[in-house]
Chains A and B, each alone.
Chain A
Amino acid sequence: MAKPFDELRERLLTAGVAPRQVRRYVTELSEHLVDLTAEESRAGGSRADIASRAVARLGGTDELATAMIAQRKFQSWSARAPWAAFSAVPICLLAAMYFVALFVLWSGWKMFLPGAATPFGHPVRGFEGLYFQFGRTLYYAAPVLAGWAVAWLAVRQRTKMFWPLTGSLLAASVGSMTQVQAGTAIVGGTGHIRINFALASWLQQVSYALLLFMIAAAPYLIWVSTLRKPQRKTSE
């Protein structure tokens, strides 16, 4: 059974009102409805009459939604500028995750393989192996994680499907182009780690990007095709 403010919540989120603002509004309306119901109970009548009078006094969904939507300052930043939100968020997340992954690689190289010309190609076991594996996993998973973060943002704010899919595609495209190089220019030198964005084989690149995109977008597409439909039905 739909909760009293489910339809209002969906209307507000779809209109771009910030989720935090929606949550607070619905909380206060619920508390107000409790007070109204208690007041109407004192006036008497059947339970259905009391509930109906209390809801009527609170205001209809249209009226309550319009009052909040009319205040543009309550719009979320992703509703005001989705093009910026859904391109900046995946790229920033990707950059942050790559930074952490490369830091793990660099620090592992310095701690566990001092003097080695490169951190790659050495047999490492136990904690050292786990340490490098964490960085490697984060590096390869970064485009997918960025896509999932964008999808979560879109689900939370009921954003149109175009934006999260574009964000996921952007993260997948950038992710498919990255290459990490590490080595020392001279023997006994300090070494360097570099991340390049390069186009290798066109077909390979596109295939990898599509694979990353499909993994990143799959949970969101499942949500859209299954979970979102019943919510639409309740509001009809």
Chain B
Amino acid sequence: MAVRETNPNFMNGVPELLILRLLGQGEMYGYEIVEAIRSQTGAVITVGEGVVYPVLHGLERNGAVRSRRKTVGGRSRIYYLLTASGKRRFAGLQKDWSSLAGAIQLMLTGAPHGKAIR
């Protein structure tokens, strides 16, 4: 089955938000992150898997994540973990995203998000 990718116009800032959320649960490597995004979003969000690395490198450059090479089960991989600055960044992004999602929901249904899903 052909993989249908998520419209990139709707993806601005989303990979960053999801990656920070996942890394808040513990250190992960790129493949693991992509798998987690796919399974936890019910495969609704799908991008070229390799695209996750520029996002991770950008977050590392900004000090939001740290990386280290670790060998697990005979495979050496680069693992990423969230920093204190990354936690603050995630909190800010989460707040922004929630208010944006609420506003869009309100626009679409005419009711606040909480009411709309009841």
Contact = CB atoms under 8 A, between A and B. Distances in A.
Contacts of B3: 56-57
A206 B50 CA distance: 52
Interface string B74-112: 010110000000000000000000000000000000000
Contacts of A29: 50, 53
Interface in A20-38: 21, 24-25, 27-29, 31-32, 35-36
B18 to A, nearest CB: 15
Contact of B49 (A24, A36, A71, A73): A36
B54 interface: yes
A58 B49 contact: yes
Contacts of B77: 31
Interface residues of B, number: 19
Interface of B: 3, 29-31, 34, 47-51, 53-55, 57-58, 61, 75, 77-78
A35 B48 contact: no
Nearest to A70: B54
A197 B29 CA distance: 56
Given A21-B57, A67-B55, 17 more contacts: A27-B78, A28-B53, A28-B78, A32-B30, A56-B3, A57-B48, A58-B49, A58-B50, A59-B47, A59-B48, A63-B50, A63-B51, A64-B50, A64-B51, A67-B54, A70-B54, A74-B61
